[in-house]
Chain A
């Protein structure tokens, strides 16, 4: 069965620090990959997605992610975080059956 691993459960950073959140998936076929964010008290929102093409994907709010097929990874990065980036981040993969499989999430706390 498909699975998604997020290695960092809690991350604490100071403003302006760089961020990288790890995501690995297990599925041998074609996958579509997503990063979602959930700000406190809000819906899940899409940060970025990868379907095909350039493996370096740019999303909203300065986030980007790189798909490395050989490593089954789709790590999320941001060069300089802000206090407003405090949220929970979920990596997800969808297979040909349209079902989203989520990782366990990473809680990011950015201190001002």
Chain B
């Protein structure tokens, strides 16, 4: 597609339920990132994918959080047994970094985010 697409745009769930958030990056972008943005706070790095491997998952806050990516395409972020503190906007971004086709530029292309509310 033309841009990074995320779904759902809004998700309300009950504490203890599992949720899946989806990201469809820009076609051809080998790098994919997940960030979390809590209300009034900055972006918190969660995980980075290059292709379908995740060389940096240092930002995942607990083992309830996991992510996978299929090739150089769609990624899903799964949160198991959600807690109220998981409420946030989850942002996905993609870039050409590491593809050999572009120098690292720091230019990430973001989706509009998935707003998660845990009741």
- A and B: partners? no
- Residues of B near any A CB (own CB < 8 A): none
